[in-house]
Amino acid sequence: MTTAIEYLSPTPLTGVEGSRGIHWIKHEEGDRIWLILDKGDTSTNTLDEPVLRELNDLLDEVEQGDWKSVIFRSAKRGGFAAGADLNQFRGVSTVAEVRAKIDEANAVIDRIAALKQTTVAAVHGACVGGGLELALACDFIVARDDASLGFPEVLVGLHPGLGGTARLTHRINPVEAMKLMLTGRSVRAGKAKKLGIVEAVVPERNMANAIEAALSGKLERSGGGATATAMNLFPARKAIAAQMRGETEKQAPSEHYESPYALISLWEKHGGSMEEMLQAERASFAHLLPTDTTQNLVRVFFLRQRLQQNGKGSSNVRNVHVVGAGTMGAEIGAWCALKGMNVTIQDPSREALGKAVASAHKLFDRKLRDPELLRAKDRFTPDLHGNGVRHADLIIEAAPERPELKEKIYAQIEEKAKPDAVIATNTSSLDLNKLFKGVKRPDRFVGIHFFNPVSKLDLVEVVRHDGSSTEAFETAQRFVGDIGKLPLPVTASPGFLVNRALMPYLGEALVMVDEGVQCERIDKAAEEFGMPMGPIELADQVGLDICLAVAESLARDLDHPMPEIPQWLRDKVERGELGRKTGKGVYDYGSDGKPKKDKLKKPATEEMRKRMILPLLDAVASAIDEGVVEDRDSADAAMIFGTGFAPFLGGPIHYAQSRGFEAVATTMERLEREVGPRYKPSPWWRKAKE
């Protein structure tokens, strides 16, 4: 007979006795009943309608039975439950439709909260979203030490919808609860205990004891205490809510993102009564789900998964050698070490190597704790003479954008590298087919194009040139997956996808500067559209030298006319005013690395936005038309994860679709007449199906 303790095993269940439904296992043990979630046909538990319906039937039995306690657990290795299944949120169109479903789901969770038995959720791994809401409906939550708990709903334009907003703000200090829900971050078990979300944190071997303690009344129920109660009173709520709105506005402007503000209002208006808040939460959730913003953010969630698929499987890359420890090389090397690779980083400049080590340590300090921190530092080795090349499975060249220099570097690498090592360039603008012409074994060369800043932008373009082998290309994609980034396969065409789309947008902004438009106003126009930073600030961030090189190469290599490169840009590069990295670019930079901006003299206009955004959309369309990128979903994903293109719009092509492809083409034709031939629309708009 299988005992309940065996269900606690972190290994998957095999040959389990007890009564197994499709998604739940029921196990009776004296006066206890275990309800073990083991969602059918998947390795991860999520809560969807079938899972909750089966639970509802089990609760009929529980309510009628004589058991004294109910214990919820998961049979999956990865965790308790990863929240709701987002698939069920796609394409819903009416508030009434959502309301009916959310009411039905809440009725099940409310039944758990109302059970006469003592209820315990024994959680491990991921216990987030709906999973955490189920746990919060129990009397006790006992967490295994690897558990992470949180509410990520805000990241897809929602807030918790199964009672989580009400139960969490009444279980712990409501300000902490709101912070957790507003950021969408998860906390580890130890922090969850400090906050009062869980009553105990123990290793697996002590889970049974902790459950026992909860059931025998030896575990004290957590709660926010007197401070929490005071904060849930209306005057405090009103003042705190105003503060939260101000803070949230900086991260997610209310004109683009509704859900954090809906959450704040929910607590402000109804935080005084759990019952009222439970009801209001449902109405608010049902209102949010069908909105365009939420549907687009759910779309972005699936676009990320789509790119992740490209990097599936291990690359077997362990040792990475980076050539060039400048802006990009230093960040690429540090990121690889952070993610567990052994990194050697080569540069003829001792100063560059010193800076690279310092900034890598800063990144590790920010992201890791001992002992991982020390290990990451050990994995990152400056290498003045390039000795690491011999041991490397992958070599990434991130030297200055000069073909003759890069070619020399490849010759040196080829002499020393292992025969099966993959060799990659991070070039933004050079033609790979020309760059690799002189190498001995072009088959193992590819492009691996990271974006700046590497730690913030998840996209990496993996570039195939005419001579790359499928093996090298696949290894490169998997390597990108191994380091937690999102690989986008592209062909070796000018600017690949992202810079080809970004440059006409940046170029147009620079032309406007030439026309006498205030830089701050240009940036504001793009920010109001939903870009994370304006094009002028972005040009400074990337480096004006890099922008100039990319703009020149695109003007030379693409058939489509590009915005004229202003003389002042060439002059600035000549003078060494290269942007943020030199403390001066278009803007001046303070020691905090932030641009010094003047107040707006005039508001930004819709026409300015059109002039900048339409060329970006058009360049994406022409790249799809030419097969640079596989399809429009990949292109949308790339622009969101490579440039921060307004995620709530669902990507450039998705956005264009909402405006109508014909309307995009006609507006471009108007601008072609009024501004110049560079606005001639791609034929794709009128060929593509909407």
Residues lying near ligand NAD in the complex (CB under 6 A): 323-329, 346-349, 352, 398-401, 405, 409, 426-429, 450, 452, 542-543, 546
d(CA 490, CA 620): 13
CA atoms of 358 and 483, how far apart (whole Å): 21
Within 10 angstroms of residue 277's Cβ, the number of other Cβ atoms is 22
Rounded to a whole number of angstroms, the minimum distance from the CB of residue 413 to ligand NAD is: 10
Going by C-beta distance under 8 Å and a sequence separation of 6 or more, which residues neighbour residue 208?
4, 5, 8
Q: Which of 153, 176, 199, 281 is the catalytic position?
A: 153
Tokens standing for 99? Answer: 């309301």
- Shortest reach from residue 391's CB to ligand NAD, in Å: 17
Decide if 469 contacts 501 (C-beta within 8 A).
Answer: no
Nearest approach, Cβ of residue 633 and ligand NAD (Å): 24
What span, in angstroms and rounded, lies between the C-alpha atoms of 108 and 170? 20
Q: Which is nearer to ligand NAD, 190 or 400 (CB)?
A: 400
Identity at 168, one-letter amino acid code: L
Active site residue 276: no
C-alpha dist (Å) from residue 443 to 468, 469, 470, 471: 4, 5, 8, 9
Q: Are 187 and 123 in contact (CB under 8 A)?
A: no
Choice among 54, 97, 133, 630 that is catalytic: 133
Look up residue 307 and give its amino acid: L
With respect to ligand NAD, which residue has the nearer C-beta, 214 or 501?
A: 501
Q: State both tokens at 246.
A: 């101000």
Q: Are 344 and 321 in contact (CB under 8 A)?
A: yes
Residue owning tokens 């099940």: 108
Cα–Cα distance, 599 to 518 (Å, whole number)? 10
**What is d(CA 684, CA 690) in angstroms, rounded to the nearest whole number?**
11
Q: If DSSP codes are grouped into helix, strand and coil, which group holds residue 501?
A: helix
In this chain, which residue has its C-beta nearest to ligand NAD?
A: 326
Cβ contacts of residue 406 below 8 Å, gap of 6+?
A: 397, 399, 425, 427, 430, 435
What are the residues whose beta carbons fall under 8 Å from the beta carbon of 521, sequence distance 6 or more?
Answer: 600, 601, 602, 603, 604, 608
The least distance separating ligand NAD from the CB of residue 415, rounded to whole angstroms, comes to: 14
Residues 129/89, Cβ–Cβ less than 8 Å? no
* Nearest distance, CB of residue 346 and ligand NAD, angstroms: 5
* Residue 90 neighbours by CB distance under 10 Å: 11
Shortest separation between residue 498's beta carbon and ligand NAD, angstroms: 9
Q: What is the DSSP letter of 496?
A: T
Q: Which of 270, 283, 171 is nearest to 228 (CA)?
A: 171
Q: How far is the CB of 388 from ligand NAD (least distance, A)?
A: 12
Q: In terms of CB distance, is 348 or 593 closer to ligand NAD? A: 348
Shortest distance, CB of residue 526 to ligand NAD, whole angstroms? 18
Q: Known catalytic residue: 153?
A: yes
Q: Which sequence positions are flagged as catalytic? A: 133, 153
